[in-house]
Amino acid sequence: MPTFAFPALLAALPFAFGLVALWLGMDANWDLRNYHWYNAYAYLEGRHGFDLLAAQIPTFHNPMLDVPFFVAAQALPARVVGFLLGMLHGLNALALYALGRRLGVEPGWALAAAVTGALGAAAMAEIGTVFYDNLLSLGFYASLLVIVSQWERLFGGRARVAAMIALAAGIPAGIAFGLKMTMVVYAVGACFGLLLAPDRPGRRLLVSFCFGLGVLAGLAVAAGPWMWFLWEQYGNPTFPYFNQIFKSPWGLFQSYRDGMYLDKLTPASRLLFPFFFSFDQRLTSEVDFRDFRVLAAFLAAPLALVAWRGRGARGYLMAAVSLAYLTWLALSAIYRYLVPLEMLAPPLLLVALGRHRAVAGVALALLLVTTRPADWGRVAWTDKAVEVALPAIESPDRTMVLMAGHEPLSFLIPAFPPGMRFLRIDSTFTNIRETTVRFNDVMRAAVAAHDGPLAMLFTSWEIEDVRRKLDEYGLAMDESRCGHPSSPIGPAPYAYCPVRRP
């Protein structure tokens, strides 16, 4: 191969994944419709507190992650935005390649493992989407790259230099954590993996501690302003999460953690969880897929930890990944949040197999041919990433819109006239009968004081539940006058109905 061909091949990877995004179709996932679109809009337009609970629990997620997509999607065609998101995913392949090379894997094998990782079942499903697990992974990989490339200076150089390098290494993982709290598992794994390095305890503690400071610095940059806002507004910097600790009156005194998959785990399944979920994906995901990458890494990691104990960066990488996995298993067991490890599994497998390249080649090929990607919702490309058609609206500047049910609705709101206020009186966050949640008092008072028209926005198949919720407010819909908003990314029939008082 000519000397320029391999670098050109690497440079082409992001463009190739951009094309993959176009081939897969336009993102229409549940979370996009529930909060990724609306949260950026609400932040940019200052609607937090004007609208209430429109995006259910994720109303309170850090909107900084969603602003770039929202701004880009306003200005650019949907295909261009999807292509750019796909290119960003392709950077994972470059990061995985770089990690493989730093760990001594030959260029061709490092590239093969990187591409195999980037084509994992969940990773591929996220190409061109706004889940962001496959983009924030770059923060984790950046931290790992700093550590493995500076290993000798971290554990063989002066303590002051090691401390500064470790602090810098923690910042990318901290930024990823700040933008999306589920990335905490990778910050934990990368940080505490340093405590297992083959060096004297004092140096291990110093490096791990300074890495942790870097994580906190990155967290402060990415999430500090939003956490301060939540603290000022609700008395909980992570609201509504961990509210059993902060006891904000704006929510129930509970954690609000999604434990639906944790509740299914038994001691036996915890011990061998990759075996279980590799053959029964519904143990860890709401959609079907097939992928054996994590299982392969799970089987290889113990052997690699033994083989590479005392061998520096390779042993560290295995330890960091193992600790990240265990943290994920303790906190959520939601497979989508494991995407960074799914992608990292093939390079780890090559490291674990050492020079057994024939075995490695067969393993990579099997991982590729057995993969069946997940599907969280895609549609045919339209001109814009989010398009909404509205029915005629009377007196929009005076209308208050109520929402109920658990289906995503907030992505419709930016299409409505900006003077309309939206209150979600029932959702995954709260319901009318949770009288201790202050939001319910505020919303009841707002509805009672409103002297203009009222309307109801909901998913048509939830109409029976919506009627009951309105009845608890002493209200009823005029169903003969309903209009029907629509959107290419919204699979549901939506209804917008006038509401009358007694």
Cβ–Cβ under 8 Å, residues 342 and 298: no
Give per-residue pLDDT as tens, 42-87: 999 999 999 999 999 999 999 999 999 999 999 999 999 999 999 9
- Residue 312: what pLDDT? 83
Cβ–Cβ under 8 Å, residues 235 and 248: yes
3-state secondary structure 78-103: HHHHHHHHHHHHHHHHHHHHHHHHHC
Dihedral angle over CA of 294, 299, 301, 304, nearest 10: -140
Give per-residue pLDDT as tens, 405-443: 999 999 999 999 999 999 999 999 999 999 999 999 999
Give per-residue pLDDT as tens, 224-276: 999 999 999 999 999 999 999 999 999 999 999 888 899 888 888 888 999 99
- How far is the C-alpha of 136 from the C-alpha of 92, rounded, in Å? 10
Query: How many whole angstroms from its chain centre is CA 130?
Result: 8
Lowest mean pLDDT among 213-222, 324-333, 344-353: 344-353
Lowest mean pLDDT among 1-10, 326-335, 468-477: 1-10
The two three-digit tokens of residue 434, written as one number:
């949770």
> Around 346, how many Cα atoms within 13 Å sit in the side-chain half-sphere?
33
- How far is the C-alpha of 240 from the C-alpha of 181, rounded, in Å? 13
Mean pLDDT of the region 307-322: 79
- Residue 307: what pLDDT? 58
- How far is the C-alpha of 297 from the C-alpha of 95, rounded, in Å? 18
Q: What is the pTM of this model?
A: 0.95
Mean pLDDT of the region 280-307: 86
Q: Are strands 26-27 and 378-379 parallel, antiparallel or unpaired?
A: antiparallel
User: Minimal CA–CA distance to 349: which of 327, 308, 318?
Assistant: 318
Alpha-carbon Rg for the chain, nearest whole angstrom, is 24
Mean pLDDT of the region 157-175: 96
- Residue 75: what pLDDT? 97
Query: How many whole angstroms from its chain centre is CA 301?
Result: 25
Cβ–Cβ under 8 Å, residues 404 and 470: yes
Give per-residue pLDDT as tens, 331-367: 999 999 999 999 999 999 998 888 888 999 999 999 9
- How far is the C-alpha of 2 from the C-alpha of 34, rounded, in Å? 49
Whether the predicted pLDDT of 88 surpasses 90: yes
Confidence of residue 131 (pLDDT cuts 50, 70, 90): very high
Q: Under 8 Å CB-to-CB from 480, ≥6 apart: which residues?
A: none
What percent of the chain stands above pLDDT 90? 87
Whether the predicted pLDDT of 3 surpasses 70: no
Whether the predicted pLDDT of 308 surpasses 80: no
DSSP state of 251: S
Confidence of residue 2 (pLDDT cuts 50, 70, 90): low
Phi, psi torsion values for 478, nearest 5 degrees: -95, 85
The CA-atom distances, in angstroms, between 165 and each of 153, 212, 338, 446 are 8, 12, 27, 53
- The mean pLDDT value of the chain amounts to 94
Question: What residues does 422 pair with on adjacent strands?
Answer: 401
Asked if residue 414 has a cis previous peptide bond (ω within 30° of 0), the answer is: no
Q: Where are the domains of the chain?
A: 5-378, 396-500
Whether the predicted pLDDT of 380 surpasses 90: yes
- Residue 5: what pLDDT? 80
The CA-atom distances, in angstroms, between 199 and each of 157, 159, 163, 305, 322 are 12, 13, 15, 16, 19
- How far is the C-alpha of 344 from the C-alpha of 99, rounded, in Å? 9
- How far is the C-alpha of 329 from the C-alpha of 261, rounded, in Å? 10
- Residue 292: what pLDDT? 97
Q: Under 8 Å CB-to-CB from 14, ≥6 apart: which residues?
A: 86, 87, 88, 90, 91, 93, 94
- How far is the C-alpha of 419 from the C-alpha of 427, rounded, in Å? 23
User: Minimal CA–CA distance to 406: which of 108, 66, 56?
Assistant: 56
Whether the predicted pLDDT of 403 surpasses 90: yes
- Residue 352: what pLDDT? 86
